[in-house]
Homo-oligomer: A and B are copies of this chain.
Amino acid sequence: MIERPYLVFLGDVPDRLAAKTAYGIVDWRRDWCIGQLRLPGCNADTGLPDMGIAEAAANGARSLVIGAVNPGGTLPEHWVTTVVEAIEAGMNVASGLHVRLGSIPAIREAAERKGATLHDTRHADRQFATGKGTKRPGKRLLTVGTDCSVGKKYAALAIDQELLARGASSEFCATGQTGVMIAGRGVAIDAVIADFISGAAEWISPAADPGHWQIVEGQGSLFHPSFAGVSLGLLHGAQPDAFVVCHEPTRTKMRNVETPIATIDAVIEETVRLGRLTNPDIRAAGICINTSALDEAAARKCLDEAAERYGLPAADPIRTGVAPIVEHLLANF
């Protein structure tokens, strides 16, 4: 559990893309953030009030959250000073970088001295049991994809938010390093030892009240040759009642490989086929399409065609919101 409120650290990143995590946190958890800390030269701006360490601490900031990435996943020398200052001021620190915070001597020493907690959300150091596959109470939805990076996290966050807005009981269950910062807890499932993928997914979405929804962030794709094992273990462990297929309509190949992108049809068929092992009632509940590369008319057409073809609500979490999917969920699950 990453303590709140957050002070979001942007470093001196060259552009908005390098601060994607910070924007994600501010998009979904604006209320948890009391400010952003930018170093000279920073070219990103989340719109949060700019704030130094002392001011943030005085305002009650509990965690410095590193919302920026650096080529290679390292922590630049001149960012370390800021992290140490935050610890000195009484904050914990969360990072989604490859490098472990505790591997940097100045940070480790400061954390030990001040009793600060260092959260490395890209790593999964907790011990898990192997998955059991037994059905547990509560309702679960998993976002799945025709590829990696097609909007599974945003779809899950949007569905959770819309459920809550309608008074339903819901929580977002994070399975990736950025998701963990947005949720304040969770596990980067692709960082777990392979034997424990489904066990970690069970831990992330434990037994709950029968009417409560756990909206589980998907990872990878059953059709991605690099990551399908992660996607399958997550599917088996999450044992979803409902899944939403996420898709990017202009992509032709899977990310970083030569494999063609999977079709929505294939993902629905395979998710049902394989998901039945731990939940015989698994069903598709909607399609989320990232239409950001399309103009308004093309986006509308794309969503209408998908809704027609699959007989399911289709939405773009950013452009249209996911109200039709959540209405369908509440009426049919």
Query: Interface residues, chain A, CB within 8 Å of chain B?
Result: 130-134, 189-195, 197-199, 223, 225-234, 236-237, 256-259, 270, 273-274, 277-278
Query: What B residues does A277 contact at CB under 8 A?
Result: 223, 225, 228, 259
A227 to B192, CA, bound (A): 13
A12 to chain B, nearest CB (A): 29
Query: What B residues does A273 contact at CB under 8 A?
Result: 270
Please judge, given known A-B contacts A191-B193, A193-B192, A194-B193, whether A134 and B229 are in contact too, CB under 8 Å.
no
Do A225 and B257 have beta carbons less than 8 Å apart? no
Please judge, given known A-B contacts A193-B193, A195-B191, whether A226 and B257 are in contact too, CB under 8 Å.
no
Residue in contact with A228 in the complex, picked from B134, B232, B270, CB distance below 8 Å = B232
Residue in contact with A190 in the complex, picked from B195, B225, B230, B232, CB distance below 8 Å = B195
Do B199 and A131 have beta carbons less than 8 Å apart? no
Query: What B residues does A228 contact at CB under 8 A?
Result: 198, 232-233, 236, 274, 277
The 9 A-B residue pairs with the shortest CB-CB distance in the complex, in nearest-first order:
A133-B225, A229-B233, A190-B195, A229-B229, A130-B226, A131-B226, A197-B229, A229-B232, A232-B232
24 sample A-B contacts, Cβ–Cβ < 8 Å, listed by A number:
A130-B227, A130-B256, A131-B226, A131-B257, A132-B226, A133-B258, A133-B259, A134-B257, A134-B258, A189-B194, A190-B194, A191-B195, A193-B194, A194-B229, A195-B227, A195-B230, A198-B227, A228-B236, A228-B274, A228-B277, A229-B232, A229-B233, A232-B232, A270-B273
